[in-house]
Amino acid sequence: MELVCPAGSLPALKTAVDHGANAVYIGFRDSTNARQFSGLNFNDPRAAEGIDYAHRHGARVFCAINTYPQPDGWRQWTAAVDRAARLGVDALIIADMGLLAYAADRYPDLSRHLSVQGSATSYEALRFYKETFGIRRAVLPRVLSVDQVRHVARASPVELEVFAFGSLCIMAEGRCYLSSYLTDESPNTRGACSPAKAVRWQESAQGLESRLNEVMIDCYGDGEAAGYPTLCKGRFEVEGSVYHAIEEPVSLNTMDLLPELAAMGITAVKIEGRQRSPAYIRAVAGTWRQALDRLAAGADRYAVEPGWSHTLSGLSEGGLTTLGAYHRNWK
């Protein structure tokens, strides 16, 4: 199985390649990709340098252009496809149907991967994207259980990539407008969820409050670790009880499932986090490389090393990891 790692910057890209990534995915420095953070992502010269570095070290580069262009942004998004093609990336990661059609028409020989934002959760949906746009690979949303992934994999007309580690989206990706309901930006429109520009921290008598466009997402008492106010991970009130009504701040970790994912024919495992530092990428990529190498040596001898779990837990939201929807009880 391939290890696909995030690269939000050139140092992160080189680190990922040096520590065992088979492929890295990048985005341009604008809202054409789903991780729009200030100071993050690539301009053309940096992208060219990164692609050259990856190729010289035997790794591939995928370019995410996976937000949804509206009429006033259409030219910017198609220009991003043109730029990626000109730079010589190995694949485009796209969600929007119009943009997939554009890429298929202009660059038929450049591989197209369906972004997780394209929300394909069944083999029939995959068949739609394959027959309509000739996609080669799809990234599956994090809403399917292991049995469901197996079922999709059995009949999938394309290669499958699944999320292995990192932040956990509780909602079907590409089908969540919660962020634009509270702020004016969503993953689909601007490549941003709970954008930093809308975040405000405030000390009050109750504790440390985190707010998103003035809406209280959480309030932390003494000794409680405060987390970024991603809106679905706050504590809210439902029928008088206050709790993480949507999702706890935890990270996805599927290392235990690697042999199963390999057996069902999954092509690649994906690490989330283009917003993360090179140090994070080094630790995560290195750990997953070891796990994949161990798996390649024989699935019967595969076991997750305590050291690997320790490393990954330390890099997780709230120090906690979950199998997420892969484990049916989570639902």
Are the C-beta atoms of residues 148 and 328 closer than 8 Å to each other?
A: no
Q: Which of 3, 84, 99, 135 binds other proteins (CB under 8 A)?
A: 99
Q: Which is nearer to other proteins, 34 or 59 (CB)?
A: 34
Q: Applying CB under 8 A, does 180 fall inside the site for other proteins? A: yes
Q: Cα angle at 76 between 70 and 82, to 5 degrees?
A: 125
Q: Cα angle at 206 between 203 and 207, to 5 degrees?
A: 45
Q: Which of 88, 196, 224, 242 binds other proteins (CB under 8 A)?
A: 242
> Which pair of structure tokens corresponds to residue 49?
């340098």
Residue of 275, 269, 314 lying closest to 292 (CA atoms) = 269
Residues 265-304 vs other proteins: string with x where CB under 8 A?
A: ----------------------------------------
Buried/exposed 216-232: b ≥16 CB within 10 Å, e otherwise: bbbbbeeeeeebebbbb
Q: Which is nearer to other proteins, 101 or 279 (CB)?
A: 101
Q: Cα angle at 108 between 133 and 123, to 5 degrees?
A: 25
**d(Cα 295, Cα 302) in Å, to the nearest integer?**
5
Q: Applying CB under 8 A, does 227 fall inside the site for other proteins? A: no
Q: Which of 171, 258, 264, 268 binds other proteins (CB under 8 A)?
A: 171
Smallest distance from the beta carbon of 135 to other proteins, in angstroms?
A: 11
User: Under rule CB under 8 A, how many of the chain's residues touch other proteins?
Assistant: 65
Contacts of 216 (CB under 8 A, 6+ apart): 209, 210, 234
Maximum Cα interatomic distance, the chain, rounded to a whole number of Å: 61
User: At residue 147, what is the residue type?
Assistant: D
Contacts of 25 (CB under 8 A, 6+ apart): 4, 5, 6, 7, 61, 62, 63, 64, 93, 270, 274
Q: Applying CB under 8 A, does 175 fall inside the site for other proteins? A: yes
Are the C-beta atoms of residues 180 and 187 closer than 8 Å to each other?
A: no
Which of 35-43, 143-151, 159-167, 260-268 is the region at the interface with other proteins (rule: CB under 8 A)? 143-151
Q: Applying CB under 8 A, does 93 fall inside the site for other proteins? A: no
Which of 6-14, 24-32, 175-183, 220-228 is the region at the interface with other proteins (rule: CB under 8 A)? 175-183
Q: Which of 45, 181, 196, 303 binds other proteins (CB under 8 A)?
A: 181
Q: Which is nearer to other proteins, 37 or 330 (CB)?
A: 330
> Which pair of structure tokens corresponds to residue 284?
């995560």
Smallest distance from the beta carbon of 304 to other proteins, in angstroms?
A: 24
Which of 57-65, 113-121, 270-278, 283-291 is the region at the interface with other proteins (rule: CB under 8 A)? 113-121
Are the C-beta atoms of residues 251 and 316 closer than 8 Å to each other?
A: yes
Residues in a beta bridge with 3: 269
- Residues in 17-76 that interact with other proteins by CB under 8 A: 68-72, 74
Contacts of 293 (CB under 8 A, 6+ apart): none
Q: Applying CB under 8 A, does 251 fall inside the site for other proteins? A: no
Smallest distance from the beta carbon of 29 to other proteins, in angstroms?
A: 21
Binding site residues, other proteins, CB under 8 A = 68-72, 74, 95-99, 101-102, 118-122, 124-125, 127-129, 131-132, 143-145, 148, 151, 170-172, 174-178, 180-184, 186, 188-189, 213, 215-217, 219, 235-239, 242, 245-247, 325, 328-331
